[in-house]
Amino acid sequence: MQYRHLGKAGIQVSELSFGSWVTFHTQSGIESAATMMAAAYDAGVNFFDNAEGYAGGKSEEVMGAALKKLGWRRGSYLVSTKLYWGLHEGPNEQNTLNRKYLIEAIDGSLKRLDLDYVDLLYCHRADPTTPIEETVWAMHNIIERGKALYWGTSEWEAADIMSAIEIADRHHLHKPIVEQPVYNLFQRHRFGADYERLYQDYGYGSTTWSPLASGLLTGKYNNGIPDDSRGAVEGLGWLRKELTNEERLAKVVALEPIAKQMGASLAQFSLAWCLQNPHVSTVLTGASRVEQVHENMKAIEFVDKFTPDVRRDVERVFETT
């Protein structure tokens, strides 16, 4: 496993990391979560991602209990969480980045994770109804209180991120250092021209999510939705539509021989494709069982196999609609 700086920040993250969306609590209890985290950690993963909103806070509880069980030295791993969606109804506690919510919500997350601080704290989405300056100050104050070490954004527009950086600069506050964007063979827009300046000029890091497009890029949906897959999880109807999209499935089928030629599974191939991008600090993987972790961690062996010819073959698949 190689380690990459989070942009120009001093902290380094393993190029593959491990997150808990959909899986922890809903598909995996504490035992299984701990087994998967241990498999990732043994492969060199040092970064574990979570969010207040995952399974209504239960995902943080499962990760906290798993960490307790695993008993790792705190300096040897990083944990993140994200705030925005909220756990309670009401005007100030949902879909917001207001100061009151952020300052109170971090305490709830730390309690559930049973940690004194998180290493990274993200604003899970942008909130157009709260001034960016208010959010920047609140995130700064959370860091100053020792409850988070760094902060970042997730799915923010480039202009808003630059605005946050500039506000922080002006007031000598802790700046956001990392974006958490979706990034996979199907979804690449957060690495387009708008964002180039963030990575290039501002040294912004990126912890990218859904590298397998929720499993679509493993080929497991080529013949329908398996009963034991994310596509069958209750409450994810919106995702099922994407997992059964005929156009996308045809592309997955077309990628198979390219991956096979490389000697990689489709999952390994798709993860390694993300890792080729030098602006990616870490690819956040997800798994519902430990065998997937073992398979996915081997993706690092294929990064160097993306020759110009292979890259051209891949792009041909995506040019055809």
Q: Where in the sequence numbering do the catalytic residues fall?
A: 54
Number of residues that make up the chain = 321
Strands (E), the chain: 3-5, 12-14, 16-19, 47-49, 78-83, 118-123, 148-153, 176-179, 205-208, 282-285
Site for ligand NAP in 250-269 (CB under 6 A): 267
Q: Which is nearer to ligand NAP, 87 or 170 (CB)?
A: 87
User: Which one of residues 6, 16, 21, 151 is an interface residue with ligand NAP (CB under 6 A)?
Assistant: 21
Closest approach of Cβ 170 to ligand NAP, in Å?
Answer: 27
Within 10 angstroms of residue 5's Cβ, the number of other Cβ atoms is 14
Q: Which is nearer to ligand NAP, 258 or 283 (CB)?
A: 283
Q: Which is nearer to ligand NAP, 202 or 269 (CB)?
A: 269
Is residue 272 close enough to count as binding ligand NAP by CB under 6 A?
A: no
Is residue 140 close enough to count as binding ligand NAP by CB under 6 A?
A: no
- In sign, the C-alpha dihedral spanning 127, 138, 150, 27 is negative
Closest approach of Cβ 309 to ligand NAP, in Å?
Answer: 25
User: Which one of residues 109, 135, 282, 296 is an interface residue with ligand NAP (CB under 6 A)?
Assistant: 296
Site for ligand NAP in 80-109 (CB under 6 A): none
Is residue 28 close enough to count as binding ligand NAP by CB under 6 A?
A: no
Q: Euclidean distance between the first and final Cα of the chain, in Å? A: 36
Within 10 angstroms of residue 114's Cβ, the number of other Cβ atoms is 13
Q: Strands 12-14 and 16-19, how do they pair?
A: unpaired
Token pair 């969480």: residue = 81
Site for ligand NAP in 182-241 (CB under 6 A): 209-215, 218, 220, 229-230
Segment interacting with ligand NAP (CB under 6 A) among 28-36, 165-173, 193-201, 280-288: 280-288
Closest approach of Cβ 271 to ligand NAP, in Å?
Answer: 7
Q: Which is nearer to ligand NAP, 56 or 145 (CB)?
A: 56
User: Which one of residues 168, 284, 299, 300 is an interface residue with ligand NAP (CB under 6 A)?
Assistant: 284
Q: Give the 3-state DSSP-derived string for 104-166, with helices as H, strands as E and coil as C.
A: HHHHHHHHHHCCCCEEEEEECCCCCCCCHHHHHHHHHHHHHCCCEEEEEECCCCHHHHHHHHH
> Quick check: helix, strand or coil at residue 71?
coil
Closest approach of Cβ 301 to ligand NAP, in Å?
Answer: 14
User: Which one of residues 13, 16, 23, 255 is an interface residue with ligand NAP (CB under 6 A)?
Assistant: 23
76, amino acid identity: S
Within 10 angstroms of residue 90's Cβ, the number of other Cβ atoms is 9
Q: Give the 3-state DSSP-derived string for 234-265, with helices as H, strands as E and coil as C.
A: CCCHHHHHHHCCHHHHHHHHHHHHHHHHHCCC
Helix/strand/coil percent split, the chain, to 5? 50, 15, 35
Is residue 147 close enough to count as binding ligand NAP by CB under 6 A?
A: no
Q: Which is nearer to ligand NAP, 206 or 285 (CB)?
A: 285
Closest approach of Cβ 171 to ligand NAP, in Å?
Answer: 26
Is residue 176 close enough to count as binding ligand NAP by CB under 6 A?
A: no
Whether 27 contacts 59, CB under 8 Å:
no
Is residue 180 close enough to count as binding ligand NAP by CB under 6 A?
A: yes
Is residue 282 close enough to count as binding ligand NAP by CB under 6 A?
A: no
Q: How far apart are CA 183 and CA 154, in angstroms?
A: 12
Binding residues for ligand NAP (CB under 6 A): 19-21, 23, 27, 49, 154-155, 180, 209-215, 218, 220, 229-230, 267, 284-288, 292, 295-296
